[in-house]
Amino acid sequence: MEVQEQCTTSARSFEHLNAYERGIIKALLGEKRSIRYIARQLGRHPSTISREIKRGTVKQRRSDLTEYEAYYPETGQAVY
């Protein structure tokens, strides 16, 4: 078996979101800020923020049985 010596694939340079960043996402969503605004504040790509919001959003039910969706940083971390 030959070993490839000239690899053209670059090393991945991403970092996972940490608990602090997830808390900032929660706070800024509470202020009705856009995904692009949140991404700029955290120095992340908007798609990263979008995926995190999707990952951490869960349906909740009020006492009158109406449903709503809310983002929870702990859920995003657990699902990831």
Two structure tokens written together for 45: 């790509």
Task: With respect to residue 12, please indicate whether it lies within any of the assigned structural domains.
Answer: no
Task: With respect to residue 6, please indicate whether it lies within any of the assigned structural domains.
Answer: no
Residue 39: which CATH number? 1.10.10
Q: Beta partners for 68?
A: 60
Mean pLDDT of 73-80: 84
Cα 36 to its chain centre, rounded Å, is 12
Mean pLDDT of 68-79: 89
Mean pLDDT of 45-66: 94
Cα dist from 5 to 11, 28, 45, whole Å = 15, 47, 32
| Number of independent structural domains in the chain | 1
* CA Rg value for the chain: 18
pLDDT band at 4 (very low <50, low <70, confident <90, very high): low
Q: For 14-30, write each residue's pLDDT tens digit.
A: 788 999 999 999 999 99
Task: With respect to residue 14, please indicate whether it lies within any of the assigned structural domains.
Answer: no
Residue numbers of the domain that contains 73? 19-78
